[in-house]
Amino acid sequence: MTTDVLKKRIMTNKPNILVVCGRNKKRSRTAEYIFKNDSRFNIRSAGLSPKSERKLSENDLNWAGLVFVMEHGHKARIQGLYRHLQLPPIEVLHIEDNYEFLDDELVDLLTERMNNTLQIVYKV
């Protein structure tokens, strides 16, 4: 990772948060939607599948200061596919693919788990 990328991750006023799921259709898109106007951080979402609405890229990972994934398998895939990068911290939210976009229960789970991690671990 270049010095410029590291500086961008550290020096930004608002942290950059990337949310990843399988196809970027339901869970990660919901997270991006519900947090898009949050003044504490910048957010974007992506998926791991080639059929994703927005496929995860090296640029996304270089941009991110923190990555949230839905399942342990997502974290393992990112670490395997991008092992040549210095990855940001990756937090697993433990949210199965059982929800539709903006499902009320999904919104509640994402809000609670992301806010708890951001407040307790990252003081954001």
Domain presence at residue 120:
no
**pLDDT value of residue 89:** 97
The list of the chain residues with pLDDT below 70 reads 1-12
Q: Which domain, by its residues, includes 110?
A: 14-115
Domain presence at residue 6:
no
Domain presence at residue 91:
yes
In the chain, the number of structural domains is: 1
Domain presence at residue 5:
no
Domain presence at residue 100:
yes
d(CA 26, CA 74): 15
Three-state SS for 67?
A: strand
pTM above 0.85, yes or no: yes
d(CA 102, CA 15): 24
**CA-based end-to-end distance of the chain:** 24
Domain presence at residue 28:
yes
Domain presence at residue 102:
yes
